[in-house]
Amino acid sequence: MCTATMRTRAKRILITPLDWAFNLRGSLPFYLGFGFEVRDMSAELPTVDLEVWKQVVSDKARDSIKNWSVCLINNYREPFVRGDRQVLVETLMHYVVAHLRLIVPNRTNADRFLRVEVTTQGLRAMTITDHAAPLFLEDCEQMCAELKIEHLQKLKSWMPWIVGFKRRWKVYYPLFLSLYFAEMARAEDEARVRHLLRVMALEALVSTDKRYGFNALRPKLPKLLGAQTDIYAQYRNSDQPFLPPLILLSVLRDVCALRNKVAHGDTIPDRWVVRNCRHTFAFGQQLNYCEELLEAATGMLSLTWQSIMDGHLQAHFGTKDKMEAYFNSTKVWP
């Protein structure tokens, strides 16, 4: 009986709608591995009976779910006796979405999901959450948020790391803490706090208890990314080709200074809040210098994570001793 029970597992699917992904439909399904795929669910979701949820889920929310189109899917099996498996599956979805956001700025929210069981009669709804808090993109990210096939290809290459990282996050605690702060920033509506969280996410990667803040970022980020790196280059595309250069070394000190002022509740200089920087996409006005520094911190964090991931440097950033040894090596830096 015990063996039979262990073998009796229900096939279930965790479904999260992807933001700005409509143009992917011609390339789907796309298999990411480890049970994950990106799939067009527009034909299947309207057939799911959600009426049983009408006492707790509004008509508007149920209609919204039925209109989900391109979705991130996690296929898994679970014993009929409920356990911690579904929580682990939800957590892994958050890890995957967080890493996708490091590849492309995107408002996909893993707190929005539909869990269904696959039966011979079709899909049966088990859990619904459609009241997730809003996520925020900076102005320079607004026109770069569309998901493309190359983003999914990179995410697929990262999947072995993501699955292992979720299981062994304590081994890579600086990376875990950095990702945690980065995700907190996405959900924070106060711009000053978003800046603080993103610089803290950078500090988690390259600071120690002896050298932190600007004293840690100044010698390390230029080595890792290049002192003359144009932070806006990653956001420049056909929709916003005229983003001016924003050079890492020219703004790094002020990025850290603004972080300190926000963290300590200090007064921000008047000249930093005058709208005399580049014109915005979203609001048709000019950015002030604080907003430009926030975009700089956002771009630095994205570039740093991509450099670590694409360079397979996770082990070097897993502990502070290994991180310091890496930066003190005889490697020729860009």
Task: For 276-288, write each residue's pLDDT tens digit.
Answer: 898 887 667 899 9
pLDDT at 5: 44
| Those residues with Cβ within 8 angstroms of residue 161's Cβ, 6 or more apart along the chain or in another chain | 309, 314
DSSP reduced 3-state for 233? helix
How many angstroms separate the CA atoms of 156 and 141, rounded?
Answer: 22
In this structure, what token pair is assigned to residue 157? 């290459």
Query: Maximum CA pair distance of the chain?
Result: 74
How many angstroms separate the CA atoms of 86 and 186, rounded?
Answer: 25
How many angstroms separate the CA atoms of 292 and 287, rounded?
Answer: 6
pLDDT at 132: 79
CB neighbour class for 280 (10 Å; exposed up to 12, middle 13-18, buried from 19): middle
Distance set, CA 297 to CA 216, 253, 293 (Å): 15, 11, 6
Residue showing tokens 């009241």: 131
Distance set, CA 95 to CA 13, 122, 330 (Å): 17, 28, 34
pLDDT class of 250 with cuts at 50, 70, 90 = very high
In this structure, what token pair is assigned to residue 266? 């200090």
How many angstroms separate the CA atoms of 151 and 52, rounded?
Answer: 37
**Residues 175 and 205 sit within 8 Å (Cβ to Cβ):** yes
In this structure, what token pair is assigned to residue 211? 């050298």
Whether residue 174 is preceded by a cis peptide bond, meaning omega within 30 degrees of 0, is no
Reference 295, options 251, 242, 240; nearest CA is 251
pLDDT at 52: 85
How many angstroms separate the CA atoms of 51 and 68, rounded?
Answer: 17
DSSP reduced 3-state for 72? strand
Reported as a single tens digit per residue, the pLDDT across 195-246 is 999 999 999 999 999 999 999 999 999 999 999 999 999 999 998 898 999 9
pLDDT at 56: 85
Reference 44, options 116, 145, 138; nearest CA is 116
* Cβ atoms < 10 Å from Cβ of 80: 9
The answer on pLDDT for 81 being more than 70 is no
| Those residues with Cβ within 8 angstroms of residue 246's Cβ, 6 or more apart along the chain or in another chain | 230, 231, 232, 292, 295, 296, 299
Q: What is the mean pLDDT of the chain?
A: 92
Q: What is the pTM of this model?
A: 0.93
How many angstroms separate the CA atoms of 225 and 319, rounded?
Answer: 20
